[in-house]
Amino acid sequence: MGNHLLVTIECLRSDHVSGLGYHKKTTPFLDRLIEDGIAFQNAYSVSTWTAPSLLSILTSSYPLRYKGKMGKARANIAQVFEENGFNTFAFGSSRIGKLRSCRQGFQNLRNKDCKMSERSEGFGISPDLPHLSWIRDFWRNNFVIHRVDETSRETVARLLRALEGEEGPFFAWIHMNDPHRPYLVGKESLSVFQFSQFRANFAAKKLSPQQKKKNLTFRDRVKFHIGKSLANKETMRNMVDLYDREIRLADRAIGMLFEGLRKEGKLHDTTFYITADHGEGFMEHGLLGHGPGERPRLYNELLQVPLVVWNAENQHERIRENVSLIDLSPTICDFASLSTPSHFAGKTLRRFFNGRKSASDGEIFCESSTIGWQRFAPEKAIIAVISGDYKYIWKSKGKDELYNLKEDSGEKENILNERKDMASKLRVKIDKHLEEVRKRGTKEEKERIKKSLSDLGAVRNREVN
């Protein structure tokens, strides 16, 4: 039993965590947990933007399941805890609350007027960084309209308020918005524009229909809007610097969370699971930011995230095997000694503990698609399989890629033609994965899920479509 607290951090790529090898001291607090708890060196998110990534964490299912319809209700881990008598809480971005599978089971979200965050409109800038004003202008003027939610610190404060005086065991999920672009660098240095003004700016400077027809590339758009090239090294250094400063804010918020629970006398009864929804690109493969974008990508800067499990009793362990966040919910169930619903696609990561190696668990699958925030289209999908040192990226439109991650961690040299043997071996695994996700969502599958849920008694049948 005990309390269980899942922390997901926006856009935090693992190679920017100091405790996992980054050269800047970005995460002093998380580093202590990495040294003290169970840290996974090579954890992969399932997808590259918020909605499908969080969906796969909370429901232990792949986005492509149900023909990629992410809006369909899928049973999540909060329902498992709720059914077992835990109080359940979720705090974070209001955008996430739009996904039914992320809302259900959380008691504090039951009121439909209750947003996950108290502040969800406005656009933050950092007036102390005038030399970087073009970056803000870029986000504002380009196709990435970003509404800024509350800071991680504010989100933590709300969770702590909710937990004050809480008697029974709880399962809580907190989603921290730092370091999501446009890299605000702290509430204290923010000016907040009204959303309407922001939109007016966007409308005044957008591309003309003729220019849109030219189908400009991302780089062309940057040049058009701000007259600078993203290939400029100084520009990118500045951007990374802002991102790193945001990471530091998220790290402080984790520290604040620990301190708050210590004061409430709950720290020693709580197991923490700290990870990120996906990574962030800095033009390594032509993408600044993350998401489905103009062409979907599944490179490691977008997929590799930290994963740390900490409680007062566990021994320190550093696990170097490739692991997937599809396994996180089953792991949390395991720590809480609760049965894992049989339709969860993942299984507990405990199989890697105590130096154990599991030969049958070598494959990681990641998915992306070209459309929509909440939709996946199998006919427009790309899927990556990582097996040992190799990564194969299959694209529904062809032009597949193969990389040796050990020799080429930057994924620059496509060796598909040189290693046809490995390519066809991994292609078989992709086919199997596709077959598996296509099979799901069938009538038999739905019946199986209904049964699994009624065994748990967790969900009313009508919630499974």
- Which residues of this chain interact with Zn ion, rule CB under 5 A? 10, 50, 277
Q: Exposed, middle or buried: residue 439 (CB in 10 Å: 0-12, 13-18, 19+)?
A: exposed
Distances (CA, A) of 227 to 220, 267, 311, 324: 9, 51, 50, 40
Q: Report the chain's C-alpha Rg in angstroms.
A: 22
d(CA 57, CA 55): 5
The residue of the chain with the least Cβ separation from Zn ion equals: 50
The least distance separating Zn ion from the CB of residue 146, rounded to whole angstroms, comes to 11
The least distance separating Zn ion from the CB of residue 27, rounded to whole angstroms, comes to 18
The least distance separating Zn ion from the CB of residue 56, rounded to whole angstroms, comes to 12
Dig out the tokens for 129 from the structure: 């960084």
149-170 CB burial, b ≥16 within 10 A, e <16: bbbbbbbbbbbbebbeeeeebb
Which residue's CB is nearer to Zn ion, number 246 or number 401? Answer: 246
Which residue's CB is nearer to Zn ion, number 10 or number 149? Answer: 10
Whose CA is closest to 52, among 341, 290, 360? 290
Q: What 8-state DSSP symbol labels residue 268? A: G
The least distance separating Zn ion from the CB of residue 327, rounded to whole angstroms, comes to 19
Which residue's CB is nearer to Zn ion, number 221 or number 278? Answer: 278
Which residue's CB is nearer to Zn ion, number 13 or number 221? Answer: 13
Which residue's CB is nearer to Zn ion, number 49 or number 89? Answer: 49
The least distance separating Zn ion from the CB of residue 276, rounded to whole angstroms, comes to 8
Which residue's CB is nearer to Zn ion, number 156 or number 305? Answer: 305
d(CA 82, CA 102): 14
68-94 CB burial, b ≥16 within 10 A, e <16: bbbeebbbbbbbbbbebebbbbbbbbb
